[in-house]
Amino acid sequence: MLQLLCKPLPIKSEALQHYVIRLAGKNGYSLSSMNQLIKKVCNTGFHSYKQSHRIALRDAVFQLTGHHEVNDLFDPHLLHTKKKKAFDFHRVKVCSACLQENKPYDADWYYRHKLVCNTHNIFLIDNCPSCSERFTEKTLSTIKCGSCEYSLNHIFKKQSLPSEDYTQQYFSAVKNKEFMPEKILGLEPFFELNAPGSFQLWCNKSDSSIEDMFNSLQSAIELSFDYEKLRSLIINQVKNAEQKDTISQGLASFKKYLKHDKYPDFIEHFINVILTIKGEFDELVVPIQWLESVFKVKVVYTRDINQRYNQGYTEKDIIFRWKKMHAIKFSNLSILLTDLDCEFINKHSEHTD
């Protein structure tokens, strides 16, 4: 059975990928040679994102080291297919202070939103302070720049942060790493309200600086906490909807955020704003189908509203009497949704077919 000569214990805070890189450095292997060794054990290298390959990699590392702790290491690469936008697999970020203290590469640094070291409260860095070359996995293995060989153990200038850091406040509630991607991706509509297209740029623009990435993220999170600013931006979106035939057409660009469970924070804010708008968009048409999908209510129709419970309706159902309706006016929306238990519209009520 193949085994490495030098087998340092895995450290709980590091990722499986970094442990493999650390093993290569400790045993004098280049990353290419380490990749070939792992292939001999499990027929796959350590750069694959395929789930079966990642499972095989973990088994191979256990075989090479004999350390059961390998099974507890977080592997972000397993989440690449479904949660790719939540991670920054191509940007190697490190904390200069952590490197000076010989701490391992923190698994959290793979997350796209992780731009600050929580321990030292400084920005992470992703390029050489001497020649500006971007860091790579080889940099982590040799602890020096692959271009100019500048040692990463040198003291870097510590960068200050804004006095208010909303990122830690926003993400601190997430205790399980498996749920962190949902929290990150849930910020997309707040990015888009600030500037259309900004979330895609934040995810895909690899040449952005760490500071610029942080400022964009900070702005989106700050908006999620600032109800008055958020309310103003949502109302502006509804104003744009007035130029269309219905509110659903006017808010088409936000359709996926309003109908998908991935964005609970935004949906809650949006509904709260809609229910507080009074007298501004009374004639705006609200399709019943949009009402059902966004507000997650069930619309039913019956001749005899007094028999609704016998027919299986609940207090959360919206009951329209007699005539099937296709839409209602915006002026009726808040009344309807704030008192679902009442008889709201009968066959004589104003409506839009």
Q: Decide which of 57, 73, 89 is a domain's last residue.
A: 73
Angle at 132 between CA 29 and CA 210, to 5 degrees: 100
Q: Decide which of 28, 49, 73 is a domain's last residue.
A: 73
Range of the domain at 257: 241-353
pLDDT of the residue at 140: 87
| Residue 345 counted as domain residue | yes
pLDDT of the residue at 187: 95
Looking at the structure of the chain, the number of domains it has is: 2
- Over residues 338-349, the pLDDT tens digits come to 654 433 333 323
| Residue 96 counted as domain residue | no
Looking at every residue in the chain, the average pLDDT score rounds to 83
If one counts every other C-beta atom within 10 angstroms of the C-beta of residue 2, the result is 10
| Residue 198 counted as domain residue | no
| Residue 352 counted as domain residue | yes
pTM for the model stands at: 0.80
Buried b (16+ CB within 10 A) or exposed e, 308-347: beeeebeeebbbbbeeebebbbbbbbeebbeebeeebbee
- For residue 164, the 8-state DSSP code is -
pLDDT of the residue at 3: 80
| Residue 306 counted as domain residue | yes
Q: Decide which of 42, 73, 104 is a domain's last residue.
A: 73
| Residue 42 counted as domain residue | yes
| Residue 116 counted as domain residue | no
pLDDT of the residue at 120: 85
- Over residues 42-62, the pLDDT tens digits come to 999 999 999 999 999 999 999
With beta carbons less than 8 A apart as the criterion, state whether 16 and 57 touch: yes
If one counts every other C-beta atom within 10 angstroms of the C-beta of residue 264, the result is 11
With beta carbons less than 8 A apart as the criterion, state whether 329 and 350 touch: yes
Do the strands 317-321 and 298-302 form a parallel or antiparallel pair, or are they unpaired?
Answer: parallel
Q: Which residues of the chain have pLDDT under 70?
A: 1, 155-163, 299-325, 335, 337-353
pLDDT of the residue at 344: 37
